[in-house]
Amino acid sequence: MTRVIGNIAIVGTGPTAIYLLQHLIAEAGPCFITLYERSGLAGVGMPYNPETTHAAMLANIASIEVPPVAETLLSWLQRQPQVILDLYGVSAETLSDRTFVPRVLLGGYFRDALETLVARGREAGVQIALREGSEVVDLRPDPDGIWLEIAAGDVPQQPILHDRVILAIGHSWPQAARVGTPAPRRLVPSPWSGLLEGGVPAAPIGILGTSLSAIDALVAVVLQHGSFTDDPGGGLVYTLLPESRGLHVTLMSRNGLLPEADFYCPLPYDPPKVMTAHAVAAAVGEGNAGLLDRLFALFLAEFRAADPAAPVLGAADEPTPDTFADHYFAARKAADPFDWAAQDLREAEANQAACRTVAWKYAILRVHEIFDAIYGDFDAGDRARFDAGLKRVFIDNYAAVPPHSIHRLLALRRAGLIDVLALGEDYEIAEARGGIAVNGNNERLRLAAVIDARGQGAQGAADLPFAGLRAALDTSDERGGPVPLSGDLEILCPAATPGRIWLPAAPFLLHRRPFLQGIPGCAAMGREVGAAVVASLAAGPRGVPAGPYDKAAAVPVGSDRIASGTGHG
């Protein structure tokens, strides 16, 4: 009898793939794993890749929240020579498990973690091949397994058969397009579209969005025209180059609110006191009708118990799921965004120094994952109500940014270089002769370029970047509908044997997990899918004989391949 063994493809090598690999090495037993990465540098993931990420762009997650792979992020940072840390403005002396560091350093951490996992895998009998610069351009399920079409530079590639495929493909962004010469581009589709390469003119620029990605885009623009230095009195000073005097940046969003600074809180989260697992299960057990109202009642009780004097509760009427967001944002909307940011920053830094928690903010943070898990059970009406109100509150709360990012905003404001524009619900942004015209909220702006930094929305079956898989799923009936997925993220594909293809990629899951994001989300997806793959291997049959396994194409990972360097720099 031919000996058969699991022959697994992992497409993408970002954090999700790394947490998945960690699980497979620990649990799957001897098998073959091939990692396909389209970029030239495996293991760093999209937001942490030095090819697309400026060294000044900050992660909004600190070591305390990053699930360790081979070691904690903090211990990895502490092992780095100070000369490397200096490149990123990080001081070994002040490092703690709550220090926010540039995202490129997280890329270095994950890259090293990949190398460690590969070595560990060998010891556990897992043969791992890494194909960098290899994009999976299509996949075709058939009864024997899944055929992968690969594009790797100019070298023609034979299709490769795998018996399990995990699509850890993360984010997809529009292709590169530069703002400036030689091909001027005035509506830039994302901050990752060649923005780092320079060429943003010293002229009025617009950025759509006000979140962490918008601050990234802003930093990428202003660092082309000047620099930040420490202010001896605290905070930062921005100095514009004399030749860049025409630069001005307008941050634009519907409500014109800036994000708040990350706030101190105990981690891991203290369990909720009122919105307990038992109370939530009882609320869900009563059925879908009225589910949002029942959950909101639990949330409000939790919120009130945390701080009966919380500002949101000061309004005359009792908040409802439909009015809570209005109460929450009211004072901030009425204030000048930079005054609010300065005051919030002072409070956040004082609380951080004193290890003091704003209890009502912490209550919102602790329950957002409960709403995330249950969102898929809401009926269409509850979903629409949640999206219009409470969802914005939870996102605002967990998407707080590193205090240093607020210092940068304030320094730019003091230099007279930035504004915030609330566009309102009806606005127009269109190419106009020689620039971009923006009309919104009775304001008219003429800008040289606008960078869209609003982040990626939910993706559906029709957005899958694999024509063969789209055809196998018959997406024609449900264009725009979500990818059909099981609870453990297996693609329910009639053409494939069950237990063969998984999709742990956040943009494709947002329709049922609205708050799935960040590195903890990657770790959760990696664990869930890893367990499902191990279960499917145990159930057999293991499809592909060991002999013909991808011999010609797979490049075994060895010391000559990736075991040197940290991958960053």
Ligand X SMILES: Cc1cc2nc3c(=O)[nH]c(=O)nc-3n(C[C@H](O)[C@H](O)[C@H](O)COP(=O)(O)OP(=O)(O)OC[C@H]3O[C@@H](n4cnc5c(N)ncnc54)[C@H](O)[C@@H]3O)c2cc1C
Q: Shortest distance, CB of residue 65 to ligand X, whole angstroms?
A: 7
Tell whether residue 259 is a contact of ligand X (CB under 6 A).
Answer: no
Q: How far is CA 502 from the centre of its chain?
A: 19
- Give the count of residues interacting with ligand X (CB under 6 A): 31
How far is 555 from 155, CA to CA, in rounded Å?
15
Residue of this chain nearest to ligand X (CB atom)? 170
Q: Which is nearer to ligand X, 29 or 520 (CB)?
A: 520
Collapsing DSSP states into helix, strand and coil, what is residue 330? helix
Q: Work out whether 13 is an interface residue with ligand X (CB under 6 A).
A: yes
**Minimal distance in Å, beta carbon 250 to ligand X?**
21
Region near ligand X per CB under 6 A, out of 32-40, 354-362, 418-426, 484-492: 32-40
Q: Should residue 117 be labelled a site residue for ligand X when binding is judged by CB under 6 A?
A: no
CB of 37 to ligand X, least distance (A): 5
According to the binding rule CB under 6 A, does residue 543 interact with ligand X?
A: no
Shortest CB 525 distance to ligand X, Å: 7
- Helix (H) and strand (E) counts in the chain: 15, 18
**What CA–CA distance (Å, rounded) separates 356 from 353?**
8
Beta bridge partners of 102: 58
Nearest CB to ligand X, comparing residues 103 and 385 = 103
SS3 letters across 413-437 = HHCCCEEEEECCCCEEEEEECCEEE
Say how far apart CA 392 and CA 386 lie, in whole Å. Answer: 9
Contact call for residue 140 and ligand X (CB under 6 A): no
Provide the minimum distance between the beta carbon of 9 and ligand X in the complex, in angstroms, as a whole number: 10
Single-letter residue type at 152: A
Which residues, 6+ apart, have CB-to-CB distance to 410 below 8 Å? 235, 236, 338, 341, 342, 345
For residue 34, state whether it binds ligand X (rule: CB under 6 A).
no
Residues 500-519: x where in contact with ligand X by CB under 6 A, - otherwise, as a string: -----xx----------xxx
Report the site for ligand X in 177-236 (rule: CB under 6 A).
213
- Both tokens assigned to 295: 């959950």
CB under 8 Å, gap of 24 or more: what pairs does 290-298 form? Answer: 291/374, 291/377, 291/378, 291/379, 291/382, 292/321, 292/378, 292/382, 292/385, 292/386, 293/321, 295/370, 295/371, 295/374, 296/320, 296/321, 296/324, 296/390, 298/274
Task: Give the nearer residue to ligand X in terms of CB position, either 59 or 247.
Answer: 59
- For the CB of residue 253, give the shortest distance to ligand X in the complex, in Å: 17
- Omega before residue 465 within 30° of 0, cis: no
Q: Smallest distance, Å, CB 558 to ligand X?
A: 21
Give yes or no for residue 567 binding ligand X (CB under 6 A). no
Q: Is 389 in the site for ligand X (CB under 6 A)?
A: no
- Single out the segment in contact with ligand X by CB under 6 A; choices: 8-16, 72-80, 408-416, 421-429: 8-16
Side by side, which strands form the sheet with 435-440?
A: 427-432, 435-440, 443-447
Q: How far is the CB of 405 from ligand X (least distance, A)?
A: 11
Dihedral angle, C-alpha 226, 229, 231, 232, nearest 10 °: -140
**Count of residues for the chain?**
569
Is there binding between residue 16 and ligand X (CB under 6 A)?
A: yes
3-state secondary structure of 437: strand
**168 interacts with ligand X by CB under 6 A:** yes
- The one-letter amino acid code at 4 reads V
| H runs (alpha helix) in 420-517 | 467-473
> Nearer to ligand X by C-beta: 12 or 499?
12
Q: Which is nearer to ligand X, 325 or 469 (CB)?
A: 469
Looking at residues 54 to 83 of the shown chain, list those that interact with ligand X (rule: CB under 6 A): 59-61
The answer to whether residue 15 forms part of the interface with ligand X (CB under 6 A) is yes
By beta-carbon proximity to ligand X, the closer residue of 171 and 185 is 171
Among 6, 25, 37, 533, binds ligand X (CB under 6 A): 37
Q: Coil, helix or strand for 389?
A: coil
Q: How far is the CB of 489 from ligand X (least distance, A)?
A: 12
For binding to ligand X (CB under 6 A), which residues are involved? 11-17, 36-39, 45-47, 59-61, 103, 135-136, 168-171, 213, 505-506, 517-519, 522
